[in-house]
Amino acid sequence: QAQLAESGGGLVQAGGSLRLSCAVSGLTFTGYHMAWFRQAPGKEREFVAAIRGSGVSTYYSDSVNGRFTISRDYAKNTLYLQMNNLKPEDTAVYYCAGVLVFGTKWPVAAPTDYNYWGQGTQVTVSS
């Protein structure tokens, strides 16, 4: 069945950068909108960024717009999140998610709209 596996998290100082990866298997990558969400302790899961199945459109939350970039490599079936100028408030577990393109509105930014989820990778930004 479908599997999503995040990697690339870690500890970084404020102002630094990280690139998260999400390896996708068990589904047709081009047929799914993909997204990144994050969840800090005691807080609700929040939307970070999404990329359309075709890759031609992206959508970002206001809190990360201009600092983060979402992309996808179809040859590698991998989703990426490049995070620059990290801030302590970016500290959270980051999850990748996917939803079938067909019959799905764009943009898609609600956690309940996504069907497939990874296990998450921890990002900690120190001050």
Are the beta carbons of 102 and 85 closer than 8 angstroms? no
Q: pLDDT tens digits, the chain, 127 residues: what are they? A: 899 999 999 999 999 999 999 999 999 999 999 999 999 999 999 999 999 999 999 999 999 999 999 999 999 999 999 999 999 999 999 999 999 999 998 999 999 999 999 999 999 999 9
d(CA 14, CA 86): 5
What is the rounded radius of gyration, in angstroms, for the C-alpha atoms of the chain?
A: 14
